[in-house]
Amino acid sequence: MSELFEPLQFPFMRDALLVGSVVAAMCAVLSCFLILKGWSLMGDAISHAVLPGIVIAYIVGIPLAIGAFAAGLFCAIGTGFIKQNSRIKEDTVMGVVFTGLFAFGLVLFSRTSSDMHLDHILVGNILGITRSQVWQTLGLGSVVLAITLALRRDLLLICFDPGQARVLALPDRFLNYLLLGLLSMAIVVSLQAVGIILVVAMLVTPGSIAHLWTDRFDRMLVIAEVSAVVSTAIGIFISYHLDASTGGCIVLVQALVFVASLLFAPKHGILKRRTRAEGAA
């Protein structure tokens, strides 16, 4: 047991566990809304679209988080504008927008002399996070988490029944853009921990796991958060002992939890549904 918990003696491992837990909880809550609204690809789109914003912010000399957030919002708003003013479906628009922005970011990065490492942007470097980045992640992550939880009822209604939300005179357009803004901020906060590529899994897998376990939204939130935080902690410990990619280990553990839930979840697991079908026959 002493060897298993050996990483806790190092400050950078304790910081990684703290930051990873906050990022996991934040992404897990948003994941539930994305699953219900069918916006899984939106997380993928925004996470890739932030790359040009990061590079432009570096060139201009402003904080990278500002550039990433602005690029993420541009992607979300641009997607909505094109969808409303063309006959192209939303998923197709997102595919075109985020691949175009990501390619633009790669071109800018290749033409910019800098000390930034592209692999750290793509897959994160949670074990190398600085003290200032720890406080920044904890602060912004807590704000995103608090706003999302405080407005969860209204956000749930616009995700599940937009028509009813309009009947109740809820500002559905504002809430949609607020959700997109929270998603963009969550991606910016998560970049240092798991990077552009792996943040997609953090925003999709926890909600998918919880959706297999329950049909009640409050329980879905709890299950998503618990699975995300526990998977993150286990992934960080595994990465230390195997000397492997920390972000990759976190996402891999989440994927294994999803597979187990897909098979054994008592509500919608494959084995449970098969048992019910056999009983009905």
What is the mean pLDDT of the segment spanning 153-167? 78
The total of structural domains in the chain comes to: 1
In a domain, 51, yes or no: yes
| Residue 146, number of CB atoms within 10 A of its CB | 11
User: Which residue range(s) make up the domain with 201?
Assistant: 6-273
In a domain, 281, yes or no: no
Q: What is the mean pLDDT of the chain?
A: 84
Is the per-residue pLDDT at 200 higher than 90? no
Q: What is the per-residue pLDDT for 29?
A: 92
CA nearest 195: which of 126, 273, 116, 106?
A: 126
In a domain, 133, yes or no: yes
In a domain, 65, yes or no: yes
In a domain, 278, yes or no: no
Distance, CA of 182 to CA of 213 (rounded, Å): 25
Q: How many CA atoms does the CB half-sphere of 275 hold within 13 Å?
A: 10
Q: Which helix (H) or strand (E) holds 199?
A: helix 172-213
CATH number at residue 241: 1.10.3470.10
C-alpha distances in angstroms, 188 versus 66, 82, 160, 256, 277? Answer: 9, 24, 26, 26, 45
In a domain, 135, yes or no: yes
In a domain, 280, yes or no: no
Using one digit for the tens of pLDDT, what is the confidence trace for 28-78?
999 998 888 877 777 777 887 888 888 888 888 888 788 888 888 888 788
In a domain, 214, yes or no: yes
Is the per-residue pLDDT at 224 higher than 80? yes
pTM of the predicted protein model? 0.85
| Residue 58, number of CB atoms within 10 A of its CB | 18
